[in-house]
Chain A
Amino acid sequence: MKIAVLSNVNMNILIKNLSKDNDVYETEGYGNYIEEMINPNSGLNNYKPNIIFIIIDGNEIIKHHATIEQATSNIINAIDKMRTFNPDNKIFISNIDVFDNIREYSKRYENRIVSTSWIKSIVGLNTKDVNIFDLVGIIEDLGRNQFYSNTLWYMSSTPISEKAIKLIADKIRKIIRAISTARKKCLILDMDNTLWGGVLGEDGPFGIKCSPTGEGAVFYDFQTSIKKLKDLGVILTIASKNNMEDVDELFRVNDNLYLSKDDFSIMKVNWNRKSENIIEIAEELNIGLDSMVFIDDNPAEREQVRIELPDVVVPEFPSNTYNLNSFIEEIYEEYFFTITATEEDKMKTKQYIENAQRNNVKSEFNSYEEYLDYLDIKLDIREVLHEDIERAAQLTQKTNQFNLTTRRYTENDIKQMKEDKNIKVLIGEAKDRFGDYGKIILAIYKTENKRCIIDTFLMSCRAMGRNIETNFLNKIEKDLKEIGVEVIEGVYIPTKKNKPAQDFYIKNNYELLEENEKEVKYIKRLD
């Protein structure tokens, strides 16, 4: 991941800080960032950063522009221009702090209006992949006295203190991490003294503490925050030592809980070891233990899970429960931080529940074939349309397990391939009697002189084990045969994670063509 920090003031200290663990563009000097963006041959445009942070000093930008709208439109025009050279970058522009205080007190509110107009005119332009970097949030947390340094300003045109630079760098790292690595998927919660105050088995459904006001408010607010995580696509589950009848009764009779039973994809309410329950949850959801976070007030339970399942994240529980809500905010920032939640993300909880239902009925069938018949899977295959491009790129970026070649493509790459006559990009959308899987399978192949080479073949892991991949390949083969293709060549490039795709071509009657350390090539003659 290559990044750039642009600014209207000197940000070399910030750049130096970020360079410790990132590839950061060495700016050609501050203040000419607009020029750097619009010049096709600038260092910036040659560097081609994936993420650009534009940190703006409010007082300075105002000094140099007649109106705030003029300042923002300058920046946005520059972004549009830059995107013609480097179309796929993500941009974060800071909001601005304005504090011209030597003026009539009755006019001081104007500072706030200027800051707000800045955000409104940037967001209002609705430029793709341009987000606001919440610089003002950092200033509010720290206070202006600590955020700014007059000394650094007059000595080196850096208005911001050492301390504030470290906080900005932390926030930038968080954003880079959110973009470059997958966030955690699932939150596992204990119940007694975690989701509510007290012990359900002893205090009863009306004795536990959770209510919009009064003593139970801290737990009510905690539940409210957890619900927000769910709305961002985090899967909520329970691993708790209680009696299930008590829990059912509680959710049925106590209206003061914010969360309802349906908010949880899986509930393991029993007296088994927590680690066992967590393993079962991971298996039922078909997700890795390293994508789970476990919250429990009991130090012994936390320790048990830490020892048995070192991949699961087990944060310390706050000793002062009044701090539960800052705690869950930290959990969000650390493990579930999200720049933009896609529709797919938001649907995720529903899909994982549907999947658990599918698994539950599995045992009722004599054979796997009968089970698949019952599921009644419908696969809709089409060449990618404009509205599929974002998802197609996302699939190449995120799919690790069933991915034959693990080639990562940007939206722009997909667009270009879509326009190439010799290349086909096919996407498949699946559904069955329990619900939609969404767009889960993708193939990219190139056809020349009656020979086809499959560049990419992948499928999201949530659709694995349904023969969808075989049906998809059969459809491609049939299409190719119709247009007179005689030979199909497929390749498997092994990675640490794509073992599930290893035997795909062999299973589908392809012959081994050649094999070396990097890749295995397969071939099939159509006749």
Chain B
Amino acid sequence: MNEFKRKKVLEIVSDILEIPVERLNLDKPRKEYEEWDSLAHVQIVASVIDEFNISITLEDTAEINNIRELLELIGG
């Protein structure tokens, strides 16, 4: 299940940033991705919320700094 969630989240991030999954790094801070601006951030979090049918508050959204933290938030 965790592996599934992780894979799905990576696909979402890859799709929105238009970066291949292999080139994504779980710990790289989002600010260091040129493509990961505030708009992309909202797109990623909203897609994750819709995909897993969960709630993430705007406050928590702002605090997500990398893919690993996003995974932790959804229990992945």
List the B side residues contacting A27 at CB < 8 Å. Answer: none
List the A side residues contacting B45 at CB < 8 Å. Answer: 155
How many Å lie between the Cα of A162 and that of B42 in the bound state? 11
Are B61 and A155 interface neighbours, CB within 8 A?
yes
Are B39 and A162 interface neighbours, CB within 8 A?
no
- Answer whether residue A338 sits at the interface, using C-beta atoms and an 8 A cutoff: no
Partner of B39, one of A12, A149, A151: A12
Interface 1/0 per residue, B41-66 and A, CB below 8 Å: 01101110110000000100100000
Q: A13-B43, A156-B42, A162-B43 are in contact. Are A151 and B49 (CB under 8 A)?
A: yes
List the A side residues contacting B42 at CB < 8 Å. Answer: 152, 155-156
Q: A13-B43, A162-B16 are in contact. Are A155 and B50 (CB under 8 A)?
A: no
How many Å lie between the Cα of A162 and that of B39 in the bound state? 12
Are A13 and B39 interface neighbours, CB within 8 A?
yes
Are A149 and B50 interface neighbours, CB within 8 A?
yes
List the B side residues contacting A12 at CB < 8 Å. Answer: 39
- Answer whether residue A291 sits at the interface, using C-beta atoms and an 8 A cutoff: no
Q: Could you list which residues of chain B lie within 8 angstroms of chain A, going by C-beta atoms?
A: 15-16, 39, 42-43, 45-47, 49-50, 58, 61
Are B39 and A16 interface neighbours, CB within 8 A?
yes
List the B side residues contacting A151 at CB < 8 Å. Answer: 46, 49-50
List the A side residues contacting B16 at CB < 8 Å. Answer: 162
List the B side residues contacting A155 at CB < 8 Å. Answer: 42, 45-46, 58, 61
List the B side residues contacting A162 at CB < 8 Å. Answer: 15-16, 43, 46-47
Chain A: CB-nearest residue to B53 = A151
Chain A: CB-nearest residue to B49 = A151
User: Distance in Å from the Cβ of B38 to the closest Cβ of chain A?
Assistant: 9
User: Distance in Å from the Cβ of A160 to the closest Cβ of chain B?
Assistant: 11
List the A side residues contacting B15 at CB < 8 Å. Answer: 162
User: Distance in Å from the Cβ of A501 to the closest Cβ of chain B?
Assistant: 44
Shortest 9 CB-CB contacts between residues of A and residues of B: A151-B46, A152-B46, A151-B49, A156-B42, A151-B50, A155-B46, A12-B39, A155-B42, A162-B47
Chain B: CB-nearest residue to A166 = B15
For A13, A155, A161, the residue with the greatest tally of chain B CB atoms inside 10 Å of its CB is: A155
* 11 pairs from A and B in contact (CB 8 Å cutoff): A13-B39, A13-B43, A149-B46, A151-B46, A152-B42, A155-B45, A155-B58, A155-B61, A156-B39, A161-B50, A162-B16
Supplied contacts A149-B46, A156-B39, 17 more A-B pairs, CB within 8 Å: A12-B39, A13-B39, A13-B43, A16-B39, A151-B49, A151-B50, A152-B42, A152-B46, A155-B42, A155-B45, A155-B46, A155-B61, A156-B42, A156-B46, A161-B50, A162-B43, A162-B46
Chain A: CB-nearest residue to B12 = A162
How many Å lie between the Cα of A161 and that of B43 in the bound state? 9
How many Å lie between the Cα of A156 and that of B47 in the bound state? 12
How many Å lie between the Cα of A408 and that of B30 in the bound state? 46
For B16, B46, B47, B50, the residue with the greatest tally of chain A CB atoms inside 10 Å of its CB is: B46
How many Å lie between the Cα of A149 and that of B43 in the bound state? 11
How many Å lie between the Cα of A161 and that of B12 in the bound state? 13
List the A side residues contacting B58 at CB < 8 Å. Answer: 155
User: Distance in Å from the Cβ of A146 to the closest Cβ of chain B?
Assistant: 10
User: Distance in Å from the Cβ of B50 to the closest Cβ of chain A?
Assistant: 5
List the A side residues contacting B61 at CB < 8 Å. Answer: 155
User: Distance in Å from the Cβ of A153 to the closest Cβ of chain B?
Assistant: 9
Chain A: CB-nearest residue to B39 = A12
User: Distance in Å from the Cβ of A169 to the closest Cβ of chain B?
Assistant: 13
How many Å lie between the Cα of A45 and that of B3 in the bound state? 51
User: Distance in Å from the Cβ of B42 to the closest Cβ of chain A?
Assistant: 5
List the A side residues contacting B49 at CB < 8 Å. Answer: 151
Instruction: List residues of A (134-155) whose CB comes within 8 Å of B's CBs.
Output: 149, 151-152, 155
User: Distance in Å from the Cβ of B10 to the closest Cβ of chain A?
Assistant: 16
List the B side residues contacting A161 at CB < 8 Å. Answer: 50
User: Distance in Å from the Cβ of B8 to the closest Cβ of chain A?
Assistant: 14
How many Å lie between the Cα of A499 and that of B46 in the bound state? 55
How many Å lie between the Cα of A156 and that of B45 in the bound state? 11
User: Distance in Å from the Cβ of B52 to the closest Cβ of chain A?
Assistant: 11
How many Å lie between the Cα of A13 and that of B42 in the bound state? 10
List the A side residues contacting B46 at CB < 8 Å. Answer: 149, 151-152, 155-156, 162
List the B side residues contacting A156 at CB < 8 Å. Answer: 39, 42, 46
User: Distance in Å from the Cβ of B17 to the closest Cβ of chain A?
Assistant: 11
How many Å lie between the Cα of A16 and that of B37 in the bound state? 11
Chain B: CB-nearest residue to A13 = B43
How many Å lie between the Cα of A294 and that of B3 in the bound state? 47
List the B side residues contacting A152 at CB < 8 Å. Answer: 42-43, 46
How many Å lie between the Cα of A12 and that of B40 in the bound state? 10
User: Distance in Å from the Cβ of B46 to the closest Cβ of chain A?
Assistant: 4
Chain B: CB-nearest residue to A161 = B50
